[in-house]
């Protein structure tokens, strides 16, 4: 049973969906279906898969055209700063998507990182649904209006310089070694994995990071490594 009024979201975003079920599906978390097995909608994971690809294409094309003199590495870092889970969750929160999530009673209570990932995934699913309903141009307008607008702030604050890149540069310059990362622990089902990853210089463990993806755990390890080494 869907109790959310998605017409409110359409008004908030000034976007009217032709297929209202497609809009609703973008917000259906797999946990919601466990408690509502008669719901005629699927979960949002396929839409998330589609939206992720569209988001990457739109952001990549925008950066390529906007910054003709930037290197591939710089463009990659800028793109990563826009399409990572933290930024997608923040933008989703700003847009009010959190109020329309369809979650199980257990997931409703989850906050912090768990909710951040659900919001980021829902953001991508919404883009996937928008693409199927209205095409690529509507997606470009939406992404440029609500996500790419964060770019000046990201550049001004240097937020595109991820800790892994900085740690590698410092390690190579200071000790002539390229850091390597190893999974120290992992647990949880495939859709909710958790990792502890160590960053090493040669055989020496410098720091550990934890996260819901290897990328997040590696970034956490690099951040701690910079503090440990006072770099």
Q: Tens digit of pLDDT for each residue in 146-156?
A: 999 999 988 88
What is the pTM for the complete model shown?
A: 0.74
Domain range list for the chain: 6-157, 163-228
84 in Cβ contact with 218 (< 8 Å): no
Q: Which residue has the tokens 């390890």?
A: 221
Q: Which of 49, 83, 48, 47 is nearest to 63 (CA)?
A: 83
Phi, then psi, of 187 in degrees rounded to 5 = -155, 170
Told to judge if 52 belongs to the known catalytic residues of this protein, a careful annotator would answer: yes
Superfamily name and number for 6-157: Ribonuclease III domain (1.10.1520.10)
Q: Tens digit of pLDDT for each residue in 95-120?
A: 999 999 999 988 888 777 788 889 99
Q: How far is CA 130 from CA 75, 100, 202, in A?
A: 26, 16, 47
Q: Tens digit of pLDDT for each residue in 40-77?
A: 999 999 999 999 999 999 999 999 999 999 888 788 88
Q: CATH fold of 163-228, please?
A: Double Stranded RNA Binding Domain (3.30.160)
Told to judge if 202 belongs to the known catalytic residues of this protein, a careful annotator would answer: no
Alpha-carbon distance of 125 to 113, in angstroms, equals 18
Which residue of the set 10, 45, 61, 124 is catalytic? 124
Beta strands (DSSP E) in 20-83 are none
Which residue of the set 5, 40, 48, 52 is catalytic? 52
Q: In what order do the strands lie in the sheet with 180-187?
A: 180-187, 194-201, 204-211
Q: Tens digit of pLDDT for each residue in 130-186?
A: 999 999 999 999 999 999 999 998 888 777 777 888 888 889 888 999 999 999 999
Residues 6+ apart with CB under 8 A from 182: 197, 198, 200
């Amino acid at each position: 049973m869907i109790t959310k009024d998605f017409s409110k979201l359409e008004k908030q975003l000034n976007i009217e969906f032709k297929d209202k079920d497609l809009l609703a599906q973008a917000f259906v978390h797999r946990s919601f279906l466990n408690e509502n097995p008669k719901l005629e909608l699927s979960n949002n994971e396929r839409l998330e898969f589609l939206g992720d690809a569209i988001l990457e294409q739109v952001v990549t094309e925008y950066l390529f055209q906007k910054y003709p003199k930037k290197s591939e590495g710089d463009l990659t870092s800028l793109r990563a700063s826009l399409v990572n889970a933290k930024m997608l969750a923040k933008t989703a929160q700003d847009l009010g998507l959190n109020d329309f999530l369809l979650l199980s009673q257990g997931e409703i209570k989850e906050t912090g990182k768990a909710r951040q990932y659900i919001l980021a995934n829902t953001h991508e699913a919404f883009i996937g649904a928008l693409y199927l309903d209205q095409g690529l141009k509507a997606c470009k307008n939406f992404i440029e209006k609500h996500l790419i607008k964060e770019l000046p702030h990201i550049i001004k604050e240097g937020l595109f310089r991820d800790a892994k890149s900085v740690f590698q540069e410092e390690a190579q310059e200071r000790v002539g070694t390229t850091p390597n990362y190893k999974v120290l622990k992992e647990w949880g089902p495939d859709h909710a994995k958790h990792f502890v990853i160590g960053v090493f210089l040669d055989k020496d463990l410098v720091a550990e990071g934890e996260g819901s993806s290897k990328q997040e755990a590696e970034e956490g390890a690099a951040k701690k490594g910079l503090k440990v080494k006072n770099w």
